[in-house]
Amino acid sequence: MPSTKSDTVRPPAVAGRFYTADPGGLRTGITRLLDHVEVGDEPLAAAYVVPHAGHRFSGHVAAEVYARLARHRDRISRVVLVGPSHHHPLRGHAAAPYTAWETPLGRVRAAPTRIVGSSLLPHAQEHSLEVQLPFLQVALGDDIEITPVAVGMSQTPDTARVIGSLLAEAGEGAVLLCSTDLSHYHDQETAVRVDRSTAESVRALRPREISTNHACGVFALRGTVAWADATGRRPRQLAIATSADVTGQTDRVVGYCAFAIESPRPGL
């Protein structure tokens, strides 16, 4: 991969750890994951919830979202990404101060935003948004544009308003992706029980019931659910799983989910 010379381009921070740094292997692996998802004749949702673990652990769950995006790729021009800041304490919301993000598959253009201020620290080493980019590049092609925003400790109504404003700013052809994993390091039985409860809170549009201990992207997720409620949309669960489904190790697992945030269908 050529070196990044411009300090306005964000180089990959977790290539070779959360996903392979080999371009051919990366594209082939993601294509295989997308090909395993059967997508029916369903409309494009306004927003989706997607996991952000290593591709080998949660990639099959994330593919449920990206296969749906791929089916509507001609309608999507920008993706607004919201997710947590794992490595830098953050209050409120921070856009990323880059003109592009680089992955082993090339560069993804980043659109500026006037909705929130930007900060380097929450994004420089963060994986929760970076791991989405190779999926976007395969599913939507090289012309896609992103607006990545880190969501730290925040009030749910504030985050819901920020999400609505980001989508309004992005205009027609924008889709929201909320990046979060679920419970961490419980045994499999406990994780399944906890994650089912969290998923029920999402489906029932009850963001206050989503515990900070049960989703690492909790503030972005709460805001997404509150935005869905305020705009008359409903979350539909696409997949829920744990790392044990891939590794077979059931003592310390991480949970993953995928949702589509859909508009009510006519007549319902």
The CATH number of 29-174+185-201+220-243+257-262 is which of 3.40.830.10, 3.40.980.10, 3.90.960.10, 3.40.50.300? 3.40.830.10
CB atoms within 10 A of CB 8: 10
Q: What is the mean pLDDT of residues 199-211?
A: 98
pLDDT level of residue 246 (50, 70, 90 thresholds): very high
Is residue 40 over pLDDT 90?
A: no
CA distances from 262 to 43, 100, 248 (A): 8, 29, 33
Task: Label residues 130-163 b or e (16+ Cβ within 10 Å = b).
Answer: bbbbbbbbbbbeeebbbbbbbbbebebeebbbbb
pLDDT value, residue 97: 94
More confidently predicted of 147 and 263? 147
Domain borders along the chain are: 29-174+185-201+220-243+257-262
Residue-wise pLDDT for 84-106, tens only, equals 999 999 999 999 999 999 999 99
pLDDT value, residue 255: 98
Does the global pTM surpass 0.85? Answer: yes
pLDDT level of residue 67 (50, 70, 90 thresholds): very high
pLDDT value, residue 3: 36
